[in-house]
Amino acid sequence: MTHFLDINATDAGDLRAIIDSAKAMKAARGGRPKGAPDDTLPLDGRMVALIFEKPSTRTRISFDVGVRQMGGQTMVLSGADMQLGHGETIADTARVLSRYVDLIMIRTFEEQTLLEMAEYADVPVINGLTNRTHPCQIMADIQTFEEHRGPIAGKKVTWCGDGNNVFASFAHAAGQFGFDLTFAGPPTLDPEMVFVEEARAKGVKVEITRDPVAAVTGADLVVTDTWVSMHDPQSARERRHNQLRPYQVNAALMAHAKPNALFMHCLPAHRDDEATSEVMDGPASVIFDEAENRLHAQKAIMRHCLGV
């Protein structure tokens, strides 16, 4: 069974093949209307279940459109539509869904929900996001960087802010794609060290610093993410703002990166919090290319999982 659960759980050669496939499928569309099907329909006759315990804009639309472009059909299910882990065990849900669909994408809270779904499903499972990791986003980010600047191997990527699930997948990617990674943020929001140590064990440099200027100096790519989650209480939001304000990505900070450095944010953004509009709309920003590439990268991931 070929699941896509995390970047570190997928062979490095397969990851490179996925990126190359995403680039090729994007190029093949060459100006065709957004909703038009691909020339080949590798998912013709396939049904894909898209499960959302967490709300979503980009993940839902990009997976839905991607399946349709490749000739398949989708069944979009929310937490309210299912008894996932409540009225029915996740294992039983996985077994039942496997009788109906060819592929499952799940965007959920707990990593264990994803792992149990994959363990008991008889069809491939894709991690659309958990509280710990967000691998589909980082595959799109790698594609985006390489479209603009060539191979990411050997480059310096700097993360400013919270050591969250998106950073975790960047750490996985650093080890698999061979780029260096620097985290700049407050110690209270450090990433899990298991992600850092695993990347270091693969021979790449992963640094943690409290100095955003030092972190960004010489960077090829500067990345940030929202400071607060939609589920954070107001008190937590205020604390996070106070802690993270020194790590805002603004023009003064970007000036310390390489002259041709790129800026990324996975969106949605709270403009003028984690990054200023001047940076987000500036010449270094590729945030909307990044958002589009969720579509192409995920199409390639689905084809990889189904072997088509």
Of the candidates 136, 160, 266, 305, the residue annotated as catalytic is: 266
Of the candidates 69, 137, 143, 248, the residue annotated as catalytic is: 137
Of the candidates 134, 172, 265, 296, the residue annotated as catalytic is: 134
Of the candidates 3, 58, 60, 107, the residue annotated as catalytic is: 107
* DSSP, residue by residue, the chain: ---B--GGGS-HHHHHHHHHHHHHHHHHHTT--TTPPPSS-TTTT-EEEEEESS--SHHHHHHHHHHHHTT-EEEEEEGGG--BTTTB-HHHHHHHHHHH-SEEEEE-S-HHHHHHHHHH-SS-EEEEE-SS--HHHHHHHHHHHHHHHS--TT-EEEEES---HHHHHHHHHHHHHT-EEEEES-GGGPPPHHHHHHHHHTT--EEEES-HHHHHTT-SEEEE--SS-TT--HHHHHHHHHHHGGG-B-HHHHTTS-TT-EEEE-S---BTTTB-HHHHTSTTB-HHHHHHHHHHHHHHHHHHHHT-
The verdict on whether 134 is a catalytic residue reads yes
Per DSSP (E only), the strands in the chain are 47-52, 73-78, 103-107, 125-129, 156-160, 180-184, 206-209, 221-224, 262-265
Of the candidates 225, 240, 298, 304, the residue annotated as catalytic is: 225
The verdict on whether 266 is a catalytic residue reads yes
The verdict on whether 137 is a catalytic residue reads yes
The verdict on whether 294 is a catalytic residue reads yes
- Whether the CB-CB separation of 228 and 237 falls below 8 Å is answered with yes
Of the candidates 265, 294, 296, 303, the residue annotated as catalytic is: 294
Task: Just list the catalytic residues.
Answer: 107, 134, 137, 225, 266, 294
